[in-house]
């Protein structure tokens, strides 16, 4: 049996239960729920944790990093999609690759930056296994964004800086959205920044807890 089909704790039934839970928690976008039903989250964690992959919790992925909680992935993706279909999306913090895989089903092109090389390598292998071909990866410090392919109509940061990095705002299209947790380790404010004719609009979404956004690269 392939790892995709799964048995018991990774079966389609277990996966559907997570979707029902996300709906109950307030996720309304059918596109987002469908994408989360389609991408097998257990592929993105260590085999020893596969049985917990469809619980609504963050899980360790090594190097002191975590795969985000499914509810938070769904919420951030839903907020990004509010302005309509996505053409180009940039993610800061590839991590396990799970968030990027969800985005790959909803956006034409996904760009994702990770500062830990080993994580990037694992994520790349998972995208190949799932035949996701519209994700381009970069080993770098993502606080400066990825200007070569910008501007983006959506940018999502899955690690928390203390302040919003200006290059990310600058790489948004007009009407483009940046969703990013801001604040100290422990609890942060999930913020939405929308680029408008007048400048940038700011909106608080909810409180979250992400790993910190760090500078530099790690081989």
Which residue spans within 34-187 are E strands per DSSP? 59-62, 65-67, 86-92, 107-114, 135-139, 152-157, 172-182
Q: How many angstroms separate the Cα of 90 from the Cα of each of 30, 130, 173, 185, 209?
A: 22, 20, 12, 23, 20
User: Quick check: is 68 catalytic?
Assistant: yes
Q: Of 17-25, 82-90, 112-120, 193-201, which segment contacts ligand SAH by CB under 6 A?
A: 112-120
Work out whether 49 is an interface residue with ligand SAH (CB under 6 A): no
CA separation for the pair 160, 143 (Å, rounded): 10
Identify the residue among 15, 42, 88, 115 touching ligand SAH (CB under 6 A): 115
Which position among 6, 40, 70, 142 is part of the footprint of ligand SAH (CB under 6 A)? Answer: 142
**Between residues 27 and 67, which has the closer beta carbon with respect to ligand SAH?**
67
Token duo for residue 133: 């071909």
How many CB atoms neighbour CB 111 within 10 A? 26
Closer CB to ligand SAH, 126 or 198, in the complex: 126
Report how far residue 99's alpha carbon sits from residue 85's, in angstroms, rounded to the nearest whole number. Answer: 17
Q: Using the rule CB under 6 A, is 159 a contact of ligand SAH?
A: yes
Q: In whole angstroms, how close is the CB of 79 to ligand SAH at the nearest point?
A: 15
Instruction: Answer whether 73's CB lies under 8 Å from 138's CB.
Output: no
Task: List the one residue from 72, 80, 119, 179 that touches ligand SAH (CB under 6 A).
Answer: 119
Catalytic residue among 29, 68, 96, 112: 68
Active site residues: 68
Catalog residues that contact ligand SAH under the rule CB under 6 A.
65-68, 92-93, 95-96, 98-99, 113-116, 119, 141-143, 158-159, 211, 213-215
């Amino acid at each position: 049996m392939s790892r995709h089909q799964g048995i018991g704790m990774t079966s389609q039934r277990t996966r559907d239960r997570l979707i029902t839970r996300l709906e109950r928690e307030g996720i309304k976008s059918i596109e987002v729920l469908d994408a989360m039903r389609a991408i097998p989250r257990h592929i993105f964690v260590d085999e020893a944790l596969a049985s917990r992959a469809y619980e609504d919790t963050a899980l360790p992925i090594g190097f002191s990093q975590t795969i985000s909680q499914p509810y938070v992935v769904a919420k951030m993706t839903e907020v990004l999609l509010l302005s309509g279909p996505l053409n180009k999306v940039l993610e800061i913090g590839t991590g396990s690759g799970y968030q990027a895989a969800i985005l790959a089903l909803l956006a034409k092109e996904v760009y994702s930056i990770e500062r830990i090389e080993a994580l990037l390598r694992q994520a790349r292998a998972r995208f190949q296994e799932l035949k996701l071909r519209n994700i381009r990866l970069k080993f770098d410090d993502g606080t400066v964004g990825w200007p070569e392919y910008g501007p983006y109509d959506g940018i999502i940061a899955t690690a928390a800086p203390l302040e919003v990095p200006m290059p990310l705002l600058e790489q948004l299209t007009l009407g483009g959205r940046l969703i990013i947790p801001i604040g100290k380790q422990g609890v942060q404010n999930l913020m939405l920044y929308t680029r408008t004719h007048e400048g940038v609009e700011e909106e608080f979404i909810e409180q979250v807890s992400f790993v910190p956004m760090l500078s530099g690269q790690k081989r």
